Amino acid sequence: MISTVLFRPGQAVIERGGSELIDIWEHEKDCVIWVNLADNNPEEESALLTDRFGLDPLAIQDAQRTRHPPKLERFENFTFLLFKGLHGDATGLKFKTIQLALFLGERFLITRHSGPSQSIKILNKEVDKPDSPITEGADVLALRLLRIMVDRYLKMILALEPRLEEIEDEMISSPCDELLAELINHKSNLKKYMRVFAYHVQLLLELKTRRFPCFGKDRGHLINDVYEHEERASSLASLYYETAADLIDGYISVASHRLNNIMKILTIVTAIFVPLSFLAGIYGMNFQNMPELQSRSGYFILLSIMASIVAVLLYVFRKRKWI
C-alpha cells in the first residue's frame, strides 16, 4: 500500500492520494510530499524508491529487513533513519516492535513500517490540522513522527509506576507467587525497553550534535526536544527496572523472613517436647523394678516436672527474645 500526502506551498493546499501524486511532485519543484509504504512487494518498492527518489539500494534493503538494529546514516541527497517503533497492537509493557524507516530529502519524507503503526496514524491526523507539520517542511514532519513515537513509549512506561506501588503494598500485606511472577515479567519487559532506548538515545544524540543532510539549521530545538523525551523514557525504564529488581529482592527477603519465623516456632515447639518425650519414653517402659511406678503420687509428680520444664523453657526463650 502506498499512501501520499502532497503539500503545495504556493496554493497552501494539502492533497491525499496514491502514487499518482509523485508525478505531480516531480514536476512542481516547490511541493513537499510524504510517501508512506506498508505491505508492498519488496522488488516493486525498491524500484520506486531508487528510480523516483534516487535512494541508495543498500539503505532500502536495511529498511526492508524484518530485524535490523536502529541506525542513522547520511547520504549525499538524503538522510536515512531506522528506529524501533511500537507495534499498533502493543498494550502495556507487553509490547512488540516494528521497523520504522524514514528517508528524509529536501522535499520528501518516505516512511516505511513493517507492521501496523499508531504513530503513523496519529501523524496522518495531524497533517490535516490547520497547523499541519508538513507545511513547515519534510524535516519537521519527520521530527514530529519521532516525537509521537517517543510519546507512545513514554505513555506505556509511565503507566507502570502506579502498578509498582500497588505491588509494593500487596507484597507486604498479602505476598503470593503471582506477584513475584508479575514482577519478573515487568523486569524482563523493561530490559527490552532499555535496549531499544539505548539505541535511540545514541542515534538522537548523534543527530543532535552533527549536521545531517536535509535537516534545517533552525531545527536544533526540535531535535533536542525529541532527544530529551527519549532520554527521559530511557531514564524511567532504568529506574523502574531497578525498582522491579528491588521489589523482587524485597519479596524474597519477606518470604525468607516469614519462613524463618515459621522455622523458629517449629524449633521452639520441638525443643519443648524433646525433654517431655524423653520422660514419657522412660516411664513408658514395661519394667517390673521401677520404684516410681509404685508411688501413688508418681503420676502427678511426673506431670509437675514436665510442666516445670515447659515453664522454664518458655521463660528462657522469652528472656532471650526468641518468642
Grid cell at residue 15: 492533497
Task: Say yes or no to pLDDT of 207 above 80.
Answer: yes
281 or 198, which is more confident: 198
Task: Say yes or no to pLDDT of 309 above 80.
Answer: yes
pLDDT > 70: percent of the chain: 98
pLDDT in tens, 4-23: 999 988 777 889 998 899 98
Q: Rounded to two decimals, what is the model's pTM?
A: 0.79
Task: Say yes or no to pLDDT of 175 above 90.
Answer: no
φ, ψ of residue 185 to 5 degrees: the values are: -65, -45
pLDDT in tens, 67-115: 889 999 999 999 999 999 888 776 666 678 889 999 999 999 999 998 8
Residue 93 confidence (pLDDT): 65
Grid cell at residue 230: 527519549
255 or 81, which is more confident: 81
Same-domain pairing of 235 and 315: no
CA-based nearest residue to 154, from 93, 95, 233: 233
Report the number of distinct structural domains present in the chain.
2
pLDDT in tens, 64-74: 988 889 999 99
Same-domain pairing of 214 and 309: no
Same-domain pairing of 183 and 295: no
Helix pair 177-209, 220-283: axis angle to 10 deg: 160
Residue 26's H or E segment, with its range, is helix 20-27
Q: Examine the fold and report which residue of 220, 238, 255 is the final residue of a domain before the chain moves on.
A: 255
Q: Examine the fold and report which residue of 236, 255, 274 is the final residue of a domain before the chain moves on.
A: 255
